[in-house]
Amino acid sequence: MDWRAQGLCLREDPDLFFPVGGINSGLAVLQTDEAKAVCRRCPVTRQCLAWAIDVGPVEGIWGCTTEGERRAMRQRSAREPAATVNAA
């Protein structure tokens, strides 16, 4: 079964995973926290995060991370090629 079919976000409002407003806006912070709380309970967080990192820049909360957090992970991985998400 494809990991996407197991994501808990399928039971949530999709808009929750695409916070509105600037990164420091109150609503965006609340939405991000709420979406990450769902991701933390999700059985496929690891697969979701690996996909989101592999696919490149993609908006929204995936695998319990924001795009900014994933960008930082990609940059770290580029500096330290031996470190990968799957090795965590």
Q: Is 39 in the site for ligand SF4 (CB under 6 A)?
A: yes
Q: Cβ closer to ligand SF4: 23 or 37?
A: 37
Instruction: Convert residues 14-33 into a mask of x (bound to ligand SF4 by CB under 6 A) and - (unbound).
Output: ---x----------------
Q: Which stretch binds ligand SF4 (CB under 6 A): 24-32, 36-44, 69-77, 79-87?
A: 36-44
Site for ligand SF4 (CB under 6 A): which residue of 7, 19, 31, 73? 7
Pairwise CA distance, residues 47 & 42, whole Å: 10
